[in-house]
Amino acid sequence: MTDDPRVVLPATVLIVALSAFFVAVEFALLSAKRHRLEDAAGTRAGRAALRSLSELTVLLAGSQLGITACTLALGALSKPAVHHWLTPLFESAGLPLVAADVLGFVLALFVVTFLHLVVGEMAPKSWAIAHPERSALLLAIPMRLFTTVFRPLLLALNAAANALVRRAGATPADEVAAGHSPAALRHLLEHSTSAGTLDAQSSAQLAGALELQELTVRDLLRAGSPLVSVPADATVGDVRAATRRTGHLRILVGQPDRITGVVHVRDTLTEPDEAPAEPCVRPVFVLAGGTSVPAALRTMRETRQHLAVVTDGGAVTGVVTLSDVLRRLFPRSGAGAAG
């Protein structure tokens, strides 16, 4: 192996840079959030980063292969060269050949290890963790090229690793989990509250948000709360009277067992009391009682609905509004009346 500084020094810089590249790729893929990378899906780098996240274990195998190759290259090229440079210096300083050789070997090992550890691993790791999405996008395309070239070898290495994982009784995963489970979040919430890093009011609100994940719209119905409705032939005056009596802004139209629509009192303000309410009636939004609260909220947001009639087996069982959800989240805030 050559010890010409004109070859060794540039080669060492290149090897350390490649090691830094593979380390940064590894930690960027582990730290980056998919939803943030999806914002850049319109770019080539964004699409490459998302593909890498979808086959994470293969990309991690590529990173580990690259880091290992760089480590071996430094040990085969840089360390012997530095050793060869230092030994004559120590020998010329008056040390015996054996002592000069041992000291040169130890210092060469220290210098090369320091460069590899600090410059080639720790610095890029810290940068990738501090800027995961930025580093993932920046490094995605060259890493995809590396993976394409070495894909057969990486797939073989990944398959061998997965076989060992299965033998250990675990299931291999190709992607990082998108987030914490509700149980893990509850544990974190309880710990933060007991440690005093989260106040009681915030804890109650967050606990309510987690509880909503497991509830259905049927659970939001208030027992004994009658439906507020006016007949199908009601006048504008009837709608206003119902609003004054109950405080609800949205009044159901039809019979309690057969709701045909809903009218917002705002739409009646320019009409005389004796005018029919029928022109102001809008179609009613219906949800099955077993619909989960998150799914109901998502649908209501997409359709811009603030009120939903809840049915069970075709029968009307109650009404759910956004205020009912807010009341669960902010029990002390006195969220406005339903409707």
3-state secondary structure of 166: helix
- If one compares 7 and 20, the residue with the highest pLDDT of the two is 20
Q: Domain spans of the chain? A: 5-167, 180-214, 215-329
Distance CA 339, CA 319 (A): 9
Q: Band the pLDDT of 176: cuts 50, 70, 90.
A: low
pLDDT at 162 over 70: yes
Structure tokens at 222: 């208030």
Nearest by Cα to 220 from 291, 164, 149, 138: 291
Distance CA 305, CA 299 (A): 8
Q: What is the mean pLDDT of residues 175-179?
A: 53
Concatenating the DSSP letter of every residue in 197-265 gives: SS-HHHHHHHHHHHHHTT-BHHHHSPTT----EE-TT-BHHHHHHHHHHH--SEEEEEETTEEEEEEEG
Distance CA 332, CA 323 (A): 13
Distance CA 162, CA 259 (A): 57
Strand partners, 66: none
Residue 228: the pLDDT is 78
Q: What is the mean pLDDT of residues 92-107?
A: 88
291-325 residue pLDDT tens: 888 888 888 888 888 888 888 877 888 888 877 77
pLDDT at 189 over 70: no
CB atoms within 10 A of CB 207: 16
Residue 106: the pLDDT is 92
Nearest by Cα to 32 from 144, 133, 177: 133
Q: Contact at 8 Å (CB) between 210 and 192?
A: no
Cα-Cα end-to-end distance for the chain: 82
55 Cβ neighbours under 8 A, 6+ residues apart: 174
Q: Which CATH superfamily is domain 215-329 in?
A: CBS-domain (3.10.580.10)
Distance CA 157, CA 150 (A): 11
Angle between helix axes 123-130 and 132-167 (nearest 10 degrees) is: 110
Nearest by Cα to 207 from 178, 187, 235: 187
Residue 152: the pLDDT is 93
Q: Give the chain's largest Cα–Cα span.
A: 115
212-240 residue pLDDT tens: 677 788 887 876 667 778 888 889 899 99
For residue 134, the one-letter residue type is: R
Distance CA 137, CA 48 (A): 8
Give all strands of the β-sheet with 315-321 in edge-to-edge order. Answer: 286-288, 307-312, 315-321
